[in-house]
Amino acid sequence: MRVLGIDPGLTRCGVGVVEGVAGRPLTMIGVGVVRTSSDAELGDRLVAVERGIEQWLDEHSPGFVAVERVFAQHNVRTVMGTAQASAVAMLCAARRGIPVALHTPSEVKAAVTGSGRADKDQVGAMVTRLLRLDAPPKPADAADALALAICHIWRAPAQNRLQQAVAAHRTSGASRTPGAPGTSRTLKGRTT
């Protein structure tokens, strides 16, 4: 499985490609940052982020894209920029038919370090160790992008099984009519 992890941001958008499967050693294919000038117009910055992500998609042909889910911060301006860069990343992947997964920061930290409250240095150290790198990727946005890709590789098999089970349940549940032969209901602890 080859995953492009994207840590969205307008000034620095971290990108990292990791290849592997859960339970086996992982390999970093590439890591970097798409940068835009804070002095540029918003539209120009979004186009620059799009071009950068498109270049990574062209160069590395990932099977999946993992994007950090935007969460509420106190600085609305920062949240807006992050959300806009995130939308650009999802759009680039969707345009190519590449599945996109969103992972929360605490989910990524927990997957990589064992603690959803890990700091940037701890995430960088574990990414370095897991990918057998000589030094932590810099800046932290790049390490975060690799952590997103690692998180997705490790979590995707379980998430896929859950999605398949939910879909199967919906399909089997839709074919049954409540009260029809072959179906049952539970009322106050009794099966009828």
Question: DSSP secondary-structure letter at 35?
Answer: E
Catalytic entry in 50, 121, 141, 144: 141
Tokens matching residue 185 = 């209901």
Q: Which helix (H) or strand (E) holds 68?
A: strand 64-68
In the three-class reduction of DSSP (H, G, I as helix; E, B as strand; rest coil), residue 15 is classed as strand
Catalytic-residue membership of 41: no
Active site residue 141: yes
CA–CA gap between residue 55 and residue 60 (Å, rounded): 9
> Which candidate in 7, 50, 54, 59 is catalytic?
7
* Residue in 59, 68, 121, 144 annotated catalytic: 68
Tell me the CB-side half-sphere exposure of residue 182, using CA atoms within 13 A.
5
Handedness of CA 136, 12, 85, 110 (dihedral sign): positive
| Catalytic (active site) residue 68 | yes
**Single-letter amino acid, residue 171:** T
**Hey, which residues are catalytic here?**
7, 68, 141
